[in-house]
Amino acid sequence: MNKNNEFEPKIAAFLCTWCSYAAADLAGSSRIQYPPNIRVVRVPCTGRMDPFLIIKAFNMGADGILVSGCHPGDCHFLDGNLYARRRFVMLNEMMQYAGVEKERMNFTWCSASEGKRFAGVVEDAVNNVKKVGPWQGFDGQGFNQEEGETTVEKV
């Protein structure tokens, strides 16, 4: 919640170090504003991401997740991003079955030169998660906001 008592989601953002992480850096150094709702987890390639990291982020109180990798054809490990995309589609369906709204799961591509696009991607992810409100956990019991704040950063 912000000072106006509006919901401000916490989003675990898994960013590929070669592209989206650099795009976030570029956005920062270019002074492009984007919402401060993401907690960045830098990954060597989205293809190296274990889908359990996403489940763990939700278990630790994240309201949503963002996975952003290199554009198709640009992955530094050839097709890691395409494997990640396939895994994400499957995981997304499983998560919906488990009660996680699709608005909480965001997947995109962003190159290192797309700082402005990255800012838009974060804005879209935040707006998507705001639509569905705070994550109440897989058991629907909710989270202690103070605990969630500190545990999400440890992901």
| Residues in touch with ligand FES (CB under 6 A) | 16, 18-19, 45-47, 69-70, 75-77, 80-81
**In one letter, which amino acid is 107?**
F
Nearest Cα to 44, choosing from 75, 5, 73? 75
Q: Which is nearer to ligand FES, 65 or 100 (CB)?
A: 65
What is the Rg, in whole angstroms, of the alpha carbon atoms belonging to the chain? 15
Torsion angle in degrees (nearest 10) through CA of 62, 108, 87, 12: -20
Both tokens of 118, joined, read 């990255």
12 vs 100, beta carbon nearer ligand FES: 12
DSSP 3-state of 46: helix
Residue 19: CB minimum distance to ligand FES, A: 5
Q: Considering beta carbons, is residue 61 or 80 the nearer one to ligand FES?
A: 80
Shortest Cβ 77–ligand FES spacing (Å):
5
Closest CB to ligand FES among residues 18, 118: 18
Cα-Cα-Cα-Cα dihedral sign, residues 90, 16, 55, 80: positive
Q: How far is the CB of 107 from ligand FES (least distance, A)?
A: 11
CB of 112 to ligand FES, least distance (A): 10
